[in-house]
Amino acid sequence: MQELYEKGLPKSRVNVEIVRQGLMQAMDASEREGELVGNLVGYLVKEQIITEDAAARAFVLVLADLPDISIDIPMAPKIVSNVLHVLIELDFVSKKILKPGLTELHESGCSSWKHFEKIQELVDEE
């Protein structure tokens, strides 16, 4: 990440892209990979290397593509929702930024919405 910052790439863009790419890699691998990415994102937020907002923006980008991703990777919604659930409970993701992404996923009629119903409840508590 530091090398990308030193090359002049905007820190906020790098942070979002690191999380997004980690999620993409995890979805293409396994639930265990999802746990590892979740742990990494949690660590990065806890250590203030990235912000809760950057983590949430990355999830919103992934949620927007999830209906298409889940065609090729049927486990993708479950993996993303598991990671997101843990990060929300730890308060490592901005609920305010995440809420519109969840709404868009729900309104898309995506069949994988069932994985995100509990997450929506957590976000609505705020």
Question: The domain spanning residue 105 has which CATH number?
Answer: 1.25.40.180
Amino acid code (one letter) for 80: V
Given a cut of 70, is residue 126 above it in pLDDT?
no
Residue 77 token pair: 């919604």
pLDDT beyond 90 at 103: yes
* pLDDT score recorded for residue 80: 93
Q: Quick check: 119 pLDDT over 90?
A: yes
Please give the model's pTM, rounded to 2 decimal places: 0.88
111 band by pLDDT with thresholds 50, 70 and 90: confident
List all residues 6 or more positions away from 94 whose beta carbon is below 8 Å from its beta carbon.
51, 52, 53, 55, 56
Work out the pLDDT band at 30, boundaries 50, 70, 90: confident
Full domain range(s) for residue 108: 2-124
pLDDT band at 24 (very low <50, low <70, confident <90, very high): very high
Confidence category of residue 1, pLDDT binned at 50, 70, 90: confident
pLDDT class of 101 with cuts at 50, 70, 90: very high
Structurally, the chain folds into a number of domains equal to 1
CA distances from 49 to 12, 26, 41 (A): 11, 21, 10
